[in-house]
Amino acid sequence: MRKTTWVLFALAVGAFAIGTTEFATMSLLPMFAHDLGIDAPTAGHVISAYALGVVVGAPVFAVLGARLPRRTLLTLLMGMFALANGLSALAPNYHWMLFFRFLSGLPHGAYFGVAALVATSLVPENRRTVAVGRVFLGLTFATIIGVPLANWLGQAIGWRWSFGLVALLGVLTMTLVWLMAPADPAHPDSSPLRELGALRRTQVWLTLGIGAIGFGGMFAVYTYLANILGEVTGVSVQSVPFVLSVFGVGLTVGNIVVPIFADRALIRTTGVVLVWNAIALALFPLMAGNVWTISVDVFLIGVGGALATLLQTRLMDVAEDAQGLAAALNHSAFNTANALGPFLGGLAISAGYGWTAPGWVGSLLAIGGLVFWLVSALLERSRNRQVTVIRENIPC
């Protein structure tokens, strides 16, 4: 048990490093935009480049690394992550920064996918989602500790040191994973072709659809939260980090509590979380006028972020013998949501529906994810009935 705890801790440190660089880059944007001599919209392409790297790198590394032992693959992925963030700290101009951020995103999805497989291999069947949730706690703690620390470091001594810090965290993760993770060989039947077999399964695509659509609502609100707090809630700039940290606390609580229920009924819990998200996001425009009510709702939206953990486990279930690719694609789906949610939320604001419109947009996206979930659940029920009928008709 103690060995398992240390392995999960090592994997969570990597999640902390990834979460810090992913979210902190948004807060560092004004700093590196000024230093590199570009305007804010152009600097935003740097964030998009990272997301594009995640979408591209997740399937590529999952397939190419199919024959490698998981410990080796995790170490190599985090080594690339550390190097790319170190290069980001040294970027001489905008174009090199764009390229280095793309490189930084490449290992992201594959790392989380392989880390989830390692985590679930260490625990009993009825503790798998809890184990994945423990790894994801690194990501949630990044929103509470890592992002504010990186932002403070950027203000105190320069944005380049923030990326340097992330690079050091990557090196630390490499060391911990190599020392703690089991040195199990790759499955003898593992191959790139076998991993690609995940793309032939309807349930894999439906689960990815839940994440790509249903998770977009959280990003729609989070992206514009700082603006909403200033324009609608009317709080001071100093109060914004407090509300952002409340979101991180919600994410952490969600990843501790929700997986406990998911290990008893994964599909049902996923549906409940999607309904939770739809309601919490729909309430957002109504609660945005007061700092206390908006903080409560932001906490509730954060709790719904546990959807990422649930879908990670679900993908490993429906992928059968191609779990590596499916698990990595979970983060391609979430980065699709990260692009879709803010885009649609921005359209609603530009159309004159007000700063709180992303809440309604997010609720509709959660309902869209619920449609994918319903189709998936109905197909699962139909399949289970067919299996039951077949077993009942097999002569003893």
Asked whether 17 and 177 are in contact (CB, 8 A), the reply is no
Give exposure, 110-140, as e/b (b: 16+ Cβ within 10 Å). bbbbbbbbbbbebbeeebbbbbbbbbbbbbb
* Mean predicted lDDT score pLDDT of the chain: 85
pLDDT at 344 over 90: no
Asked whether 284 and 362 are in contact (CB, 8 A), the reply is yes
- How far apart (Å, rounded) are the C-alpha atoms in residues 361 and 357? 6
Q: Could you tell me the pTM of the whole model?
A: 0.82
Q: What is the pLDDT of residues 166-194, one digit of tens each?
A: 999 999 999 999 998 887 776 655 556 56
CATH 1.20.1250.20 in the chain is located at 1-188, 191-396
Percentage helix, strand, coil, to 5, in the chain?
A: 90, 0, 10
Give me the pLDDT at residue 40, please: 63
Return the percentage of the chain with pLDDT > 90, whole number: 35
Give me the pLDDT at residue 86, please: 95
Query: What is residue 187's DSSP assignment?
Result: P
Hey, CA dihedral for 148, 149, 153, 159, is it positive or negative?
negative
* CATH number of the 1-188 domain: 1.20.1250.20
Q: Where are the strands (E) in 148-246, listed by range?
A: none
pLDDT at 343 over 90: no
The pair of structure tokens assigned to 362 is 């997010």
Give me the pLDDT at residue 387, please: 57
* Single-letter code of the amino acid located at 224: Y
pLDDT at 151 over 90: no
Q: Which carries the bigger pLDDT value, residue 395 or residue 103?
A: 103
- How far apart (Å, rounded) are the C-alpha atoms in residues 374 and 377? 5
Cα angle: 32, vertex 35, 36; to 5 degrees: 85
Question: What's the CATH superfamily of 191-396?
Answer: MFS general substrate transporter like domains (1.20.1250.20)
Q: Which carries the bigger pLDDT value, residue 200 or residue 215?
A: 215
The rounded radius of gyration (Å) of the Cα atoms in the chain is 21
Give me the pLDDT at residue 192, please: 64
Q: Which carries the bigger pLDDT value, residue 244 or residue 310?
A: 310
- How far apart (Å, rounded) are the C-alpha atoms in residues 150 and 161? 8
The pair of structure tokens assigned to 283 is 């309430």
* Single-letter code of the amino acid located at 204: V
- Among residues 360, 201, 358, the alpha carbon closest in space to that of 278 is found at 360
* Single-letter code of the amino acid located at 84: A
